[in-house]
Amino acid sequence: MYEPLVVEVWGKPAGVVLKEGNTFRFHAFARPFTELEGAEFNTLGHARLAAAKLQPATDCRPPHTA
């Protein structure tokens, strides 16, 4: 039995993947990642990439002060 692997996007959990045979099946924690619920990926990296595409990076720089 394989352990679930957490998929994080920008440091926040998006879901878990479970190894099923030769594929990884995605199970989402919350929106917008529910679009990937049950999707199969060839690698863990492909699952992470698909999740990252649903949640673009936010600008983490501090605000400019004059």
Q: Is 40 helix (H, G, I), strand (E, B) or coil?
A: strand
Q: Answer yes or no: is pLDDT of 1 > 70.
A: no
Cross-strand pairs, 27: 16
Read off the amino acid at residue 8.
E
Confidence tier at 64 by pLDDT (50, 70, 90):
low
User: Which pLDDT tens digit goes with each residue over 48-58?
Assistant: 999 999 987 76
User: Which pLDDT tens digit goes with each residue over 14-29?
Assistant: 999 999 999 999 999 9
CA separation for the pair 60, 30 (Å, rounded): 22
- Quickly count: other Cβ atoms within 10 Å of residue 41's Cβ: 19
Q: Answer yes or no: is pLDDT of 42 > 60.
A: yes
pLDDT recorded at residue 59? 45
- Quickly count: other Cβ atoms within 10 Å of residue 22's Cβ: 8
pLDDT recorded at residue 55? 87
